[in-house]
Structure 1
Amino acid sequence: MSAHNELITAAELADILDQPNLRLFDCTTYLEPAPEGSSQPYLTVPGRHTFEAGHIPGADFLDLQGEFSDPDTELRFMMPDVAQLEQAFGRHGVSNESRLVLYSIGTPMWATRFWWMLKSLGFENASVLDGGLDKWKLEGRPLETGPARGYPPATFTAKPRGGFFVDKHATLAASSERNTVVVNALGPQFHKGLEPSRYGRPGRIPGSCNVSAATLLDPKTKVFVPLAEAEAKFSAQGFTKDKRVVAYCGGGISATIDLFLLYRLGYDNLTLYDGSMGEWAKDASLPIETD
């Protein structure tokens, strides 16, 4: 298997569990309904409880909101500065020589978010487990319970690359550029503005198309749809490899499923609007479109 294979199956992972340079991480977060009157769209609950109830043997747990997001913004899950990430990954035993495998429960979006962040830091040797813990369990593979044993601390040095994240100003400009596709990964009812949004004003970024992240997964096994099927969905929305893509969702998480598949399909001009609708829907100076 090549070092730059972004996707790994449960069977392939089972074969490398004893490799000393493997760093295996459960990245799960849960979004719980926010209490009445809360200014936040949802409560973020780290998946430590489900990790301790059962994880792939040897895995460690990564708390996205706790250690790997910007603490100085109202918005959830925003990309923090490079020094914070170097220290956090280093604490969890990641060095530049590590082989990372990332997984989550119920949806791969937490794993693809970490994969995207690592790519932006110049780290290439990270894979997402196809189907996550759901598929691992479906295949009857062994589980371990209890707190993470963790990995010995290491030194991780980032080689940051630009263009992986854009702000609302760049996204607004992109929405009227002929050579750019802006894609919304939320469900069609939210894209059309037919249902109230937990982020603020209902609707979408003007001119954006919709390839819902949920349609890129098998609902039962949580594996990614075959690449040909994904390609057909993107092509139907006018994607071509010579265009730039700006992806967004609610909080910059599920859009990384779209980006992960586009990357695997050979698209190389990809970026994430990190603030997504969590920022856009609340900012009355930004235009919004509904059906």
Structure 2
Amino acid sequence: MKAINNIIIALLLVVTATVSSYAQADIISAKDFTALVKANKELVIVDAAKSKTYKNAHVKNAIHINHNKLYKDGDVSGIIKSPEELAEFFGNLGISEKTEVVLYDEGSQKYSSRLYWVLKYIGAENVKILHKDMDEWKKARIMLTAAASKAHKPVTFTPNVDESIYATTDYVAENLENPNVIVVDVRTAAEFNGEKAIKGDKAGHIPGTINIDYKEFETEAGAYKSVEGLTALAEKYGISPDKEVIFLCKTSVRGAVSYVAFKNVLGYENVRLYDGACAEWCTKKPLE
């Protein structure tokens, strides 16, 4: 019996290690990044920070992508373009669905996470986020420069849309009372409670949602919290792996941080981002 118990424990350890490594496979350290640069000369490095930040200093050979270029024109801000338009956009920058891509931003994780989600939504197979930990960056001696990076040769990106990570307004509305689905608004408490509206946004929140400020998913230094830290946070708010979780904010930039935290750090299987978020919801349905 003791031998059987030991085997079971060993198997559980293997499964746990496998789940953990799979969950975090798309979030890489500075050490991992430097190894990738050496191993893959075709690697595309993307700086997703604001334009001014990129111009001041960026990782050597990194191209710049501003997340605002991914959105449709229209009355509702922050809704992504069609998969075909996005595929053409990324293809023109040298990114195909099979290209190995590493994303990073200025440290908030917001912009790199938003780009990550968009790329995964349209079917990118090999996208990673360089975890922002400046101490680690210094140890790895990641080279920064203000010099312009050479453009990559345009390629064809063939989209393969993953609807399982995308939530529409109707989908959110249909699941607000579903006990197996938790809808999380990651704006500040002041925004959620209607005490503050940003840039003309209507005050309040979607009925039936819970509020967790996206900064709770990160350390004070702006890095993602550990598995243990995020697990404790999930338990605090009654979120468990057997539930489907939908994240949103005003335009799902902050929501993308939370998506990556649960999908890639914790390894939750059923995680969606409500792309239209509060900006779209309030044009169709009431807030409270």
TM-score normalised according to structure 1 size: 0.83
Corresponding residue for residue 158 of structure 1: 159
Residue 42 of structure 1: aligned partner: none
Contact 1:104 1:132 in 2 (8 A): no
Please state which structure has a larger fraction of its residues in helix. 2
Q: Secondary structure at the match of 2:278?
A: helix
Q: Summarize deviations over 1:74-108 as a string: whole Å, max 9, x none.
A: 22221211111111111111123321111111411
Deviation at 1:252, TM superposition (A): 1.2
Match for residue 253 of structure 1? Answer: 253
Change over 3 Å in CA distance of 1:200–1:147 after alignment to 2? same
Secondary structure, aligned partner of 1:287: coil
Is the CA contact (8 Å cut-off) linking 1:3 and 1:125 kept in structure 2? no
Q: Counterpart of 2:46 in 1: which secondary structure?
A: strand
Structure 1 pair 190/252, CA: closer, same or farther in 2 (3 Å)?
same
1:140 positional shift = 5.7
- The aligned residue for residue 238 of structure 1 is 238
What is the Cα deviation at residue 134 of structure 1?
A: 9.1
CA contact (8 A) 1:23 1:101 kept: yes
- Higher mean displacement: 166-175 or 251-260: 166-175
In the alignment, the residues of structure 2 paired with residue 277 and residue 267 of structure 1 have an alpha-carbon distance, to the nearest angstrom, of 24
Residue number in structure 1 paired with 2:41: 20
Note if contact 2:67-2:114 (Cα within 8 Å) is conserved in structure 1: no
Q: CA deviation at 1:161?
A: 1.8
Aligned to 2:245, the other structure's residue is in SS state strand
What percent identity do the matched residue pairs reach?
23
Q: How many residues are aligned here?
A: 266
Q: How does 1:1-291 map to 2 (within 5 A)?
A: 5-18=25-38, 19-28=40-49, 47-66=50-69, 68-71=70-73, 73-131=74-132, 136=137, 141-220=142-221, 222-264=222-264, 265-281=266-282, 283=283, 286-289=285-288
Gaps of at least 5 residues in structure 1 are: 29-46
TM (normalized to structure 2)? 0.84
Distance 1:79 1:164 in 2: 14
| Aligned-residue offset at 1:200 | 2.9
**How far apart in 2 are the matches of 1:219 and 1:135?**
15
Q: 1:135 to 1:107 in 2, by over 3 A?
A: farther
Unmatched segments (≥5 aa) in structure 2: 1-20
- Between the aligned partners of 1:208 and 1:198, the Cα distance in structure 2 is 22
Larger Rg: 2
Cα deviation, residue 181, structure 1 = 0.2
| Cα-to-partner distance string for 1:135-184 (whole Å, 9 max, x where unaligned) | 63697632111333221212211111213222222222221222110001
Secondary structure of the corresponding residue to residue 17 of structure 1: helix
Checking the alignment, whether the CA contact within 8 Å between 1:105 and 1:134 is kept in structure 2 is no
Q: Where does residue 44 of structure 1 map in the other structure?
A: none
